[in-house]
Amino acid sequence: MSKQIVIIGAGGHGKVVADIVMLSGDTVLGFLDDGKALGETVCGIPVLGPVSAYVHFPDVWFLVAVGDGTLRERLVSRMNGVKWYTAIHPTAVISPMETEIGEGTVVMANAVVNPCARIGSHCIINTGAIVEHDNEIGYFSHISVGAKLGGTVKIGEKTWVGIGAAIKNNVTVCGDCVIGAGAVVVRDITVPGTYTGTPARKIR
C-alpha cells in the first residue's frame, strides 16, 4: 500500500528525497522546514509548517532530509515516536544477500550496496556511491556523490565521506570525521577530524 510521507527540510537534499519517494510510488504530503513560510511551495510541493508541526501528522511516515549529520541527528531526536521512512531510488542496486539498511536512510540513484553491507539509520548514500561487501556504515553518516568504499570498510557514526573520495578495502574511519572531496584514505583513521588529499592527511 502506498505510504504518505512528510519530509523534514525543503532544501536541495529534500527535493531529491521527494523525487525518490514519488518514483517509489509513495506520496509526498509536503515539507516541514523552520526556514520557509507556510504555504510556500518547493518544486510544486507545499511547505506545511515548521518542524514542530510534525505532531499534527500522526499517521504519516517522516524522513529528515538535511545534509549535515549533526543537525540531522538533532532533528531526529526532537521527533519522538514517529515512523521513519527509508527511501531507496528504483535504480539503486541493493544486494538481497544479508544487506541491512537502517530506518530513515536514503539511497540515491545508481548507488550500489553489495552483499553483507550494513548501513545504519538516517544515513545518506548519495548518487552513484559504492558501498562494497561487508561494509559497516554508522548512523547519521553520509557517503557523498560518487564516493567509493572498498570491501570490509567501516565508517563511524556521523562521518561524512566527500564527493568522489575513495576508502581502501579493509580500512576503518572513526566517527565524526570529514573526508574531503577526492581524498584517498589508505590507512585507518582513529582520530576525529578533517582529512584531505592522496593519501589522506589530517588538516584539522
The alpha carbon dihedral of 35, 29, 141, 51 has a sign of positive
CB of 109 to ligand COA, least distance (A): 13
Q: Which of 89, 122, 133, 142 is catalytic?
A: 133
- Does 79 engage in binding with ligand COA (CB under 6 A)? no
Whether residue 133 lies in the annotated active site: yes
CB of 124 to ligand COA, least distance (A): 8
| Residue whose C-alpha cell reads 528525497 in the numeric block | 17
In the complex with ligand COA, which residue's Cβ is closer, 82 or 107?
Answer: 107
Contact call for residues 192 and 177 (beta carbons, < 8 A): yes
Grid coordinates representing 163? 564527493
Q: Provide the mask over 162-191, with x wherever binding to ligand COA is found by CB under 6 A and - wherever it is not.
A: xx--------------x-xxx---------
3-class DSSP assignment, residue 181: coil
CA dihedral 131, 134, 137, 138 (to 10 degrees): 180
Q: Which residues bind ligand COA (CB under 6 A)?
A: 126, 144-145, 162-163, 178, 180-182, 194, 196-197, 203
Residues with catalytic roles: 133
